[in-house]
Structure 1
Amino acid sequence: MRGLLGFLPWIVYAFIATGDEWRWGAIAGLVIAAALVTIDRRSGKAWDEIVIETSAAVFFACLTVFSLVVPDSPLTPYGPALVNVWLAGTAWGSLAIRKPFTLGIARTMAPKEVWETPRFYRVNAVITTVWAAAFTVAAVSLTLVLSVAPHATTLVIAIKALSFALPAVFTAWYPKRVRRSLVNEG
């Protein structure tokens, strides 16, 4: 579950960035993401282990600048959707270059002898696809909700929570299922 700490900047942003406060949310997300990247790199983590943290640092740096330059942007209410668009792009992009973002994290928890196996890659491609799909569905859902009911806070929170909780549960469950199937085959 250490890999989920990489989502902390996104979660903090989600709590702080409400309406007019998106600037503070962006700044908080940037500070946390930069701290995570710095701490992780100093502790010897490879770049592929901190894809989400690095993506957060880039996103929140851009959003911080944008929110300070254009504080009254018509995009302000769509901050939650923008987060999910970016995360979906990160996840789908990592799949497109055949380096699922979960791969580096999974290597820290798996024996070295399985790292290069097709099954290990496949498990991580499936997990990353689930995250990518969840972020995509959340981006579309949040865009629709925020455009027709901008004050539907409970629904927005539910969508945001589910877009993290469901793939997190899948991430914990799926590798165990694959291991059980291997035992049953052997």
Structure 2
Amino acid sequence: MALFLIIAPFATFASLMMLTTVKISLAASAVIAFGLVCRDMVGGRSIKMLTTGALIIFASLAGYHLIAATEMHPTSVRLAVDGGVLAIALGSIAIRLPFTLQYAREMVDAETLKQPRFLRTNYILTWVWSAAFVLMLVADIVAIYLPSMPLWVCAAIAFAVRNSASYFTQWYPKHVRGRGQRQHGRCLIPTTAQSFQPQGAFNGPHCPQDPSRFPLDRRVFRGLHCCR
């Protein structure tokens, strides 16, 4: 759900740009961003910097088109949107508050919040999204210098990049949790087995050199794998 909320205003903008005018696309995206801000306020959640930034970007561009005599070129509008979002993402890293952190805090327990890997994971996710915004920005710049390039090409690039970042956002936290669980599970069996050994059975942290000295515990030693 949080992932959908992150991309909802931008996905709306990208979709409507292929179907209707720039003015309608910007207005609809601003309305969705405003709805998300109100949702957080009513629900007592933190106001997300990305959602607030999206509201400012789309509302400003929509307001410009309401009073301007002519509309901006669609490519220029996409350039302004992607550039603004990239500035928000990099700015959140600069102030040491990666924008994905605000969403992640609402989805985990207090113990997870204290883990160093939680913050590190959100830095990585924010950098990945920043890279995605850079690629979309590059596609917009290429479209400006190659006006003959069809509009759907830029839309396809943005769609592919956005979906790739979304997939990584879903996959990477699970990967980090799985790796942490595997590391936490190491040496649990040896530690348990050691607790059943007679006094003096272990010489330091290693296995005994001669298990036969303790006949009552041979069965334990047969199944014991020491963790060095």
Given the two structures, how large is their TM-score scaled by the length of structure 1? 0.89
- Partners of 2:3 and 2:166 within 8 A in 1: no
Distance 1:71 1:32 in 2: 25
Distance 1:71 1:181 in 2: 57
Structure 1: tracts of 5 or more residues without a match = none
RMSD of the TM alignment (CA)?
Answer: 2.0
How far does residue 14 in structure 1 lie from its aligned partner after superposition?
Answer: 1.5
Q: Which residue of 2 aligns with 1:53?
A: 51
Distance 2:148 2:182 in 1: 50
Q: Which residue of 1 aligns with 2:90?
A: 92
Q: Pairwise mapping of residues 12-31 of structure 1 onto structure 2 (< 5 A)?
A: 12-18=12-18, 21-31=21-31
Q: Which residue of 2 aligns with 1:39?
A: 39
- Partners of 1:142 and 1:159 within 8 A in 2: no
Higher normalized contact order (CA 8 Å, seq sep 6+, divided by chain length): 1
- Partners of 2:90 and 2:130 within 8 A in 1: yes
How many residues matched? 184
Which protein shows a greater Rg? 2
The change in CA–CA distance for 1:59 and 1:79 in structure 2 (over 3 A counts) is: same
Given the two structures, how large is their TM-score scaled by the length of structure 2? 0.74
Q: Which residue of 1 aligns with 2:101?
A: 103
Distance 2:175 2:20 in 1: 44
The change in CA–CA distance for 1:37 and 1:51 in structure 2 (over 3 A counts) is: same
- Partners of 2:100 and 2:125 within 8 A in 1: yes
Aligned to 2:120, which of 110, 122, 131? 122
Identity among equivalent positions (%) equals 30
Q: Which residue of 1 aligns with 2:5?
A: 5
Structure number having the greater helix percentage: 1
Distance 1:56 1:74 in 2: 18
Distance 2:74 2:155 in 1: 16
The range that moved more, 149-158 or 108-117, is: 149-158
The range that moved more, 119-128 or 62-71, is: 62-71
Structure 2: tracts of 5 or more residues without a match = 185-228
